Amino acid sequence: MVAEQLAARDITSPSVLSAIGRVPRERFVPLEFLADSYADRALPIECEQTISQPYMVALMTQALELTGAESVLEIGTGSGYQTAVLAELAAKVTSVERHAELSKQADRILRSLGYKNVSPVVGDGTLGWPADAPYDRIIVTAAAAKLPAPLFAQLREGGIMVIPLGDADSQMLAAVRKVNSDPQLTELSGCRFVPLIGAQQTPG
């Protein structure tokens, strides 16, 4: 998967490729989809959510430009697969999930794999998690109709947020850097994510 689906495309970060190679994706995939664990496509999980395709996980992680010292806020724990990749590359990951059952299941898997730098919490992802703010990096694994103001407020100056923006019909993955308290947006790729739902967003 790493060589054929990621390195052969535009995933050039050695640390990201190495991290994805270390994370056993099959541990995060429902039993009925085990045969497709390393296929380059999204797969359904509980609560009508998805585990993102490996390429999208790699692209989003690469765009965060992690060095190993960062505090990361993840919005949408889901299966916990993206969380594990982040935990390989960051100092601390706070992961917010609105479905308590998904958060509990992901926490169990992550602990079984030995990750100790992840703090899973249940809450409204559109509001972020102010208790641990500010964050050096923020990653949002659901599509927002607009940039959620509370999340941008919790991003440290100079930090990067990677987020899908758009509605159900048209989404763009963006890297948003905070410069002089303003967002500077770089478009990365077209994408398709489940909608970000919460007090600051409604499905598009």
**Hey, which residues are catalytic here?**
52
Number of H helices, E strands in the chain: 5, 9
Under DSSP, the state recorded for 100 is H
Instruction: Provide the phi-psi class of 80: left if phi over 0, else alpha when psi is between -120 and 50, else beta.
Output: left
Which among 159, 187, 150, 152 has a CA at the least distance from the CA of 171? 187
Residue 164 host element (H or E): strand 155-166
Match 């048209």 to its residue by tokens: 170
